[in-house]
Amino acid sequence: MAKITIKDVARHAGVQPSTVSRAINNHPNILPETKARILNTIQELGYVPDRAAKNFRTGKTRSISVILPITGSDFYNRLLNSIDETLEEYEYDAGVYPLLSERRLSRYQDPSALPYHTDGLVFASLNPNHLYENLFSIQGLPAVVLDISTPNFDNVTINNELGGYLAGMHLQERPAETFVINVEELFDTPFTSGVFAQRVKGFQKAQQEAGLRFEEDQLYTSAFTMRSVRETARLLLQERKGKINVFTTCDFFAYGLIEEVRLAGLTLGDDVRIVGFDDEPQAQDLGLTTLHQPVEEMGHTLAQMLMERIENPDLPVRSVQFEPILKVRSTT
């Protein structure tokens, strides 16, 4: 059986292809009864518009690509969900492109790669200026960036420095030896968003303002695996002298620390006070004091900005910053 096209529908409904097109695209100038008849015929024949033809003809795909580091955190799931929600209002769809390997990254240097075959791009925690050997790949494609303040792209960020500052201020309520567990940030990779460094910077600022010291020996680093986190936490707990305060630059690090605190027979919220960052669902389960990010608002704003830029590419570059909120729970 041959493919059913708009011509077949037209013939069966006794109209011209252009009228069928008007019927399926909610064009105003069409008689309701004509439209109804055509829609009926479409049902009968099981006609499905050829998206490739439509994309080609209109020069629009009504879809965008979300490019992100390896996926799966609660943060990215919520982000994608909220982007989806906003896109739906515009009848747009999103495809997800996790940068899981070097191979993928190098393939995406090619401007005709799949992700760029859409009307716009979201870069989540990724800096397009570092991702590409040159920006030719995404020439003229509307793009918005999450987590990184770029001068040449619309961007949505959270005030990470303020988050670190709030963590610092809060921990100062109970004076004690103070530590930070941060991620081992690799320099000069396309995956360096800089958010963690900003969190530490804000924390440092709070310490300085209070006349408290913050030296290298107070800063521990860990890789992004539970094993590494546990080792780091164990080391930190061994080297402590009395009661301590710890700021972990993400909740994930706090989980490992909490385990080690329990294993060491210490009391959470007293011997060891902890502030995390992200407010993942598990943070609430564990009673972890942490900095909440308004992920949904960020996603909505991001998607909204992209839609606006697709509609009007000449808009000036916009930058929106959200503020984290300290959620005080039982670990402090």
Partner DNA sequence: TTGAAAGCGCTAACAT
Partner DNA sequence: ATGTTAGCGCTTTCAA
Q: Which residues contact DNA by CB under 7 A?
A: 3, 5-7, 14-22, 24-25, 28-31, 34-35, 49-50, 53-54, 56-58
**Residue 22 binding result from DNA, a second copy, none, given CB thresholds of 5 to 8 Å by partner type:** DNA
Distance (Å, rounded) from C-alpha 174 to C-alpha 187? 34
Nearest to 308 by CA among 27, 64, 54: 64
The interface with a second copy within residues 142-181 (CB under 8 A) comprises none
Q: Which of 31, 209, 262, 330 binds a second copy (CB under 8 A)?
A: 262
* Residue type (1 letter), 84: D
For residues 20 and 48, the answer to whether their CB atoms sit within 8 Å is: no
* Residue type (1 letter), 13: A
Tell me the closest approach of the beta carbon of residue 146 to a second copy, in angstroms. Answer: 17
The interface with a second copy within residues 69-88 (CB under 8 A) comprises 70-73, 76-77, 80-81, 84-85, 88
Fill in the per-residue mask, 268 to 287: x = in contact with a second copy (CB under 8 A), - = not in contact.
Answer: -------------xx--xx-
Q: Which of 51, 175, 209, 210 binds a second copy (CB under 8 A)?
A: 51
* Residue type (1 letter), 281: P
Per the structure block, which two tokens stand in for 153? 């792209």
**Residue 61 binding result from a second copy, DNA, none, given CB thresholds of 5 to 8 Å by partner type:** a second copy
Phi, psi torsion values for 245, nearest 5 degrees? -110, 135
Does position 224 interact with a second copy (CB under 8 A)? The reply is no
Output helix, strand, coil percentages for the chain, rounded to the nearest 5: 45, 20, 35
Residue with tokens 């690799």: 186
Distance (Å, rounded) from C-alpha 90 to C-alpha 72? 26
Nearest to 312 by CA among 119, 123, 157, 138: 119
The residue among 5 and 172 lying less far from DNA, judged by its C-beta, is 5
Distance (Å, rounded) from C-alpha 155 to C-alpha 294? 15
Q: Which of 11, 17, 49, 297 binds a second copy (CB under 8 A)?
A: 49
**Residue 84 binding result from a second copy, DNA, none, given CB thresholds of 5 to 8 Å by partner type:** a second copy
Does position 101 interact with a second copy (CB under 8 A)? The reply is yes
**Residue 88 binding result from DNA, a second copy, none, given CB thresholds of 5 to 8 Å by partner type:** a second copy
Task: Give the count of residues interacting with a second copy (CB under 8 A).
Answer: 53
Nearest to 293 by CA among 157, 94, 126: 157
Does position 106 interact with a second copy (CB under 8 A)? The reply is no
Which residues, other chains included, contact 199 with Cβ-Cβ below 8 Å and sequence gap of 6+? 160, 161, 163, 164, 167, 182, 249, 277
Binding part of the chain for a second copy, among 8-16, 101-109, 155-163, 180-188 by CB under 8 A, reads 101-109
Residues that bind a second copy (CB under 8 A): 46, 48-53, 55-56, 59, 61, 63, 70-73, 76-77, 80-81, 84-85, 88, 93-98, 100-101, 103-104, 107, 111-115, 117, 136, 139, 225-227, 255, 259, 262-263, 281-282, 285-286
